[in-house]
Amino acid sequence: MSETVLELKNAAIYQREALILSDVDVTVNKGDFVYLIGKTGTGKSSFMKTLYGDLPLTEGEGHIVDYNLRTLKEKDIPFLRRKLGVVFQDFKLLTDRNVKENLLFVLKATGWKDKTAIEHKIDEVLKKVGMNTKGFKFPYQLSGGEQQRVAIARALLNDPELILADEPTGNLDPQTSVEVMEVLQEISRNGNTILMATHDYALLLKYPSKTLKCDGQRVFEVVQKSV
């Protein structure tokens, strides 16, 4: 029996009072790689924000990595986010620190104390994304693709049960998008569960996988051919 890391039932997603998505039924199991597609403005971002606690879930049921989204308290959100790795379109790296310091900041903020363990973990995640020789560089010295690799490394620091990647290739050219996608695919093969919002259909054709589509205030699974 596969382990469910995300399940929404009859959920409605709101941005303030506006209904964005209704009757959402979604299941993501451990080890899945799932795309979330849809045109701009169809609710992909609101969907993602609900999952990491940025928007409250006020209707229906929602469970993500042992947390109930309906009863999620403000004080629980940092703990929820430790179990999730979130990768954003615009990297969100701290520009005044080098790569290693960016990762160190997250580990310290999430309670890591042991220096040796910290060093080991930083080396491990940078190796996974092919950035282990660039730990001393600052974000402005890196290309967009390299910055996104660091952002993925950051998302892996606390061994997340689910990685939410919100348009991770949105700011990258096609070649770099493929490179970043290769990193995500590799992480997925290693057993990580990934939900990736994207509007880059070329990636879906190159790396077919389970696909959810936002359209007309609904989220539904699509068969790859009709994308």
Residue 25 sits in a domain whose CATH number is: 3.40.50.300
Domains held by the chain: number:
1
Q: What is the pLDDT of residues 33-60, one digit of tens each?
A: 999 999 888 999 999 999 999 999 999 9
Between CA 213 and CA 206 the distance in angstroms is: 18
Residue 10 has phi, psi (to 5 degrees) of 45, 35
Domain containing 55 equals: 4-226
Between CA 196 and CA 165 the distance in angstroms is: 5
Contact status, residue 123 vs residue 103, Cβ threshold 8 Å: no
Q: What is the pLDDT of residues 107-118, one digit of tens each?
A: 998 889 999 999
Residue 152 has phi, psi (to 5 degrees) of -70, -40
For β-strands 210-215 and 194-197, DSSP reports them as unpaired
Rounded to the nearest 10 degrees, the angle between the axes of helix 144-156 and helix 115-128 is 130
Q: Residue 106 has which token pair?
A: 């997250």
Q: What is the pLDDT of residues 137-193, one digit of tens each?
A: 999 999 999 999 999 999 999 999 999 999 999 989 999 999 999 999 999 999 999
